[in-house]
Structure 1
Amino acid sequence: MDPLLKEIRHNSLLWLLVFVPVVLAAARIAPSAHTLLFVLAVLAIVPLAALLSHATEAVAARTGDAVGGLLNATLGNLTELIIAVTALSAGQYMLVKASIAGAIVTNSLFMLGTSFLIGGLRYRVQEYNRANGRLHSALLLMATVALLAPSAVAELDLAQDKGLAQRLSAALAVLLIAGYGLGLLFSLRTHKEFFASEDHDEKGQAPWPIGLAVGTLVVVTVLVALTSEIFVESVQNAAGTLGISPAFVGFIVVSIVGAAAEMAVAFSAARKNRLDMSISIALGSASQIALFVSPVLVLLSYVLGPAPMDLQFWPGAVTMAMIAVVTTTFVTGIGRSAWFIGVLLVFIYAILALTLYMVPPGSSVRISGIDWPAA
């Protein structure tokens, strides 16, 4: 515990950890104070993300960037999974779909682009292993095709069989989970030599013992999930009064807040010239959401939800996901990066965000007092 306490004492940003118990208590005492809960949740998530960054880097220094990035992506996505399961139990399927599609686009464009930008501002040119980016891009492409399939048969579903979309989605969910598992087997075992990190002059240090680092990862991830859920609830209730499009909230805001911890680690790794880890976190998180989290939610809906959930997204969401995948495939195939490449990715993300803000989806459904875009 000494390294952790020392880090908290000497890092003024971590002093904001005091807001973690404050926001948890405020959520119980004054659950209707949405503005207050929103501010407190943001103040709590920021130091948790910084603490998660230190712990993940300590683990990655011993396991390698590929495993370290996978571990961070898995723990980071736990936030989105907990929120989605809660919404799933309440039958808020549009909220679940908005957060899934938004997380894919946010991680593959905004997180990756900002990592390239931050690293490029310190290093003129950064190199990384192209195989890692190509693998995740291929997985994301497969997942996007799976998202297109239920939408393509939507008219047939309405005309012939009301349960066609659900059955197709369940079958696709099993295939996606199998594809994700085989991808892990390929990259971490049978062909792991192809995904070794590039050697760089600056290496991350691991001052924490592995037991402390792993324990911190688990505890902090749970706290991030709790505070993120409070944040999402406060944003949902404030969306109408603030004049923000519900599609923008679910697709952009919730995705950024849910990935705050992962972003802190990815940005820190890029600044230390460890783009392999940044790519593993950004694209690994996106592919994990697309190929594991979303199909798991489909299967869980048969047990937890009031009705089975399908993988039929509204056309705009699928289009944006495809744009993100194609862009990521093109960029990561180069093997080298500079700050302007990061700017381009962030600008593409900004274009999509601005489109959602200015021109939200036309149709909507009423969920918990908020109009969410229909699939």
Structure 2
Amino acid sequence: MQPLLKEIRNTPLLWMLVFVPTVLAAEAVLSNSHTLLFVLSVLAIIPLAALLSHATEAVAARTGDAVGGLLNATLGNLTELIIAIAALRAGQYTLVKASIAGAIVTNAMFMLGACLLLGGLRYHVQEYNRAGARLSSGLLLMATVALLAPSAVADLQHLPQDGSVIHKLSVGISVLLIGVYALGLLFSLKTHKELFAGAEHDKGEEAPWPIGLAVGTLLVITVLVALVSEIFVESVQKAGETFGMSPAFVGFIIVSLVGAAAEFAVAFSAARKDRLDMSVSIALGSASQIALFVAPALVLLSYVVGPTPMNLQFWPGAVTMIMIATVTASFITGSGRSAWFVGALLIFIYAIFALTLYVVPPAGQG
């Protein structure tokens, strides 16, 4: 515990951890003060993300950047999965689907673009492992095609109007996607793991935490981020109504950005240290995990915890944005090299998506 306590004492940003018990207590006592809970939850997520960043880097130093990026993406997506399950219980399917689509686009466009921009401002040209990027972008492209299928056939005239065919198709696709995700893990971590080894880095860096402390900290912080993020979602929905934001915008932009705060902290820090293997692994790995595992898992869980089953039919605008983001990320990461301007372009594309969704909400939500 000594390295952890020393890190907290020496990092003023981590002093904000005091907001974690504060927001949990405020939620129990002042559950109707949504503006206060919104502010406190944001202040609590920031230091949790910073601490998660340090612990993940300690694990990556011992396991390699590819595995470290995979671990961080998995833990970060666990937070979003818990948030989505809470929304499933309440039957907020628009919010759930918006958060799924938004998380894919946010990771593939905003997180990847910001990493390339931040790293490129410090280093003239950066290189990263093309094999890992191609695997993640290929998995993401395949998953995107699968997610398009229910939306593509939903308007066919001869289908029953009760939606039974769409639900059956969604369940079948969900099972297939989880199977592909398992095969991707087997390929990258077992049979062809040598293709995904990260570059060597300076050995003169400060010694990482013991692996037991790092993993324990990752698990505890992930749980705390999940709890605080759940409070954030509950409060931000009310804030969205106050400020005229549709549930689709709240889920697609706000929930996705805050839910991925921990992953942002790790990926941005790695990019600034010229460890772009890890940054790309987190950004594309997280996006592909959401499409291959989180989305199908939520469909299957909706039969257990939801008031009615959920399908994979997204509104047309979400489908278009997911496809554009996936194809763009696949094209950008194919070279294995980057500069700051490439990252800036990705961020501008994400900004266009956000502006469009805010000004023109999906039908029925305006």
TM-score, L = length of structure 2 = 0.97
Q: Does the 8 Å contact 1:203/1:272 carry over to 2?
A: no
Pair 1:111–1:10, CA change in 2 (3 A): same
Q: Alpha-carbon deviation of 1:305?
A: 1.4
1:338 and 1:355 map into 2 onto residues whose CA distance is 27
- The 1:204–1:68 alpha-carbon spacing in structure 2 relative to 1, beyond 3 Å, is farther
CA contact (8 A) 2:181 2:293 kept: yes
Q: Which residue of structure 2 aligns with residue 99 of structure 1?
A: 99
Instruction: Tell me the CA shift for residue 207 of structure 1.
Output: 2.5
Q: Is the 8 A contact 1:57 1:204 kept in 2?
A: no
2:147 counterpart of 1:147: yes
Deviation at 1:157, TM superposition (A): 7.4
* Contact persistence 2:188–2:196 (CA under 8 A): yes
Aligned counterparts of 2:205 and 2:70: Cα–Cα separation in 1 = 17
Aligned AA (2:22): V
Give % identity.
75
Task: Tell me the residue number matched to 1:363.
Answer: 364
1:49 aligns with 2:30: no
Structure 1 residue identity aligned to 2:135 = L
What is the DSSP-based 3-state SS (H/G/I as helix, E as strand, rest coil) of the residue aligned with 1:91?
A: coil
Work out whether 1:68 is the aligned partner of 2:68. Answer: yes
Q: Which residue of 2 aligns with 1:82?
A: 82
Paired residues of 1:57 and 1:206 also in contact (CA < 8 A):
no
Instruction: Structure 1: give runs of 5+ residues left out of the alignment.
Output: 365-370
Q: Which sits farther off after the overlay, 338-347 or 245-254?
A: 245-254
Cα distance in 2 for residues equivalent to 1:310 and 1:243: 27
Structure 2 contact 94–247 (Cα < 8 Å) conserved: no
Mark the CA change 1:321 to 1:204 in structure 2 (over 3 Å): closer, same or farther: farther
Amino acid at match of 1:133: A
TM (normalized to structure 1)? 0.95
In the TM superposition, residue 323 of structure 1 has moved relative to its aligned partner by: 0.5
> How far is the alpha carbon of 1:303 from its aligned partner?
1.4
In the alignment, is residue 6 of structure 1 matched against residue 6 of structure 2? yes
- The answer to which of 151-160 and 1-10 deviates more is 151-160
Aligned to 1:322: 323
Q: Deviations over 1:233-254 (max 9, x none)?
A: 1110111212333322110010
Distance 1:127 1:311 in 2: 36
Matched residues, number: 365
Mapped partners of 1:221, 1:157: distance in 2: 46
Distance in 2, Cα, partners of 1:285 & 1:18: 29
Partner-residue secondary structure (3-state), 1:155: coil
- Indicate the residue corresponding to 2:196 in structure 1: 195
CA RMSD of aligned residues (A): 1.4
Residue 308 of structure 1: CA displacement?
Answer: 1.4
Q: For residue 2 of structure 2, what is the amino acid of its counterpart?
A: D
Indicate how the Cα distance of structure 1 residues 226 and 351 shifts in structure 2: closer, same or farther if over 3 A, else same: same
Shift of 1:352: 0.6
Alignment-derived partner of residue 119 in structure 1: 119
Q: Can you list the C-alpha shifts for 1:119-157, whole angstroms capped at 9, x where unaligned?
A: 111111110011111111111111111111101111237
- The alpha-carbon deviation at position 91 of structure 1 amounts to 1.7
State the alpha-carbon separation in 2 of the partners of residues 308 and 241 from structure 1: 29
- 1:256–1:157 Cα change, 3 Å: farther
Aligned to 2:230: 229
Q: Is the 8 A contact 2:61 2:208 kept in 1?
A: no
1:367 matched residue in structure 2: none
Instruction: Name the counterpart of 1:303.
Output: 304
Change in Cα spacing, 1:210 to 1:157, as seen in structure 2 (3 Å) is: farther
Counterpart in the other structure of 1:259? 260
4+ residue runs of structure 1 moved beyond 6 angstroms? Answer: none
Measured after TM superposition, the shift of residue 188 of structure 1 is: 1.1
> Secondary structure of the equivalent of 1:302?
helix
CA deviation map 1:63-97 (0-9, x unaligned) = 11111111100111111100111111222211110
1:362 alignment partner AA:
A
- List alignment gaps of at least 5 residues for structure 2: none
Would you say 1:351 and 2:346 are equivalent positions?
no
Report the CA distance between 1:161 and its aligned residue: 5.9
Is the 8 Å Cα contact of residues 157 and 164 (structure 1) preserved in structure 2?
no
Give the distance between the partners of 2:157 and 2:228, measured in 1 at CA: 39
Counterparts of 2:233 and 2:204, CA distance in 1: 36
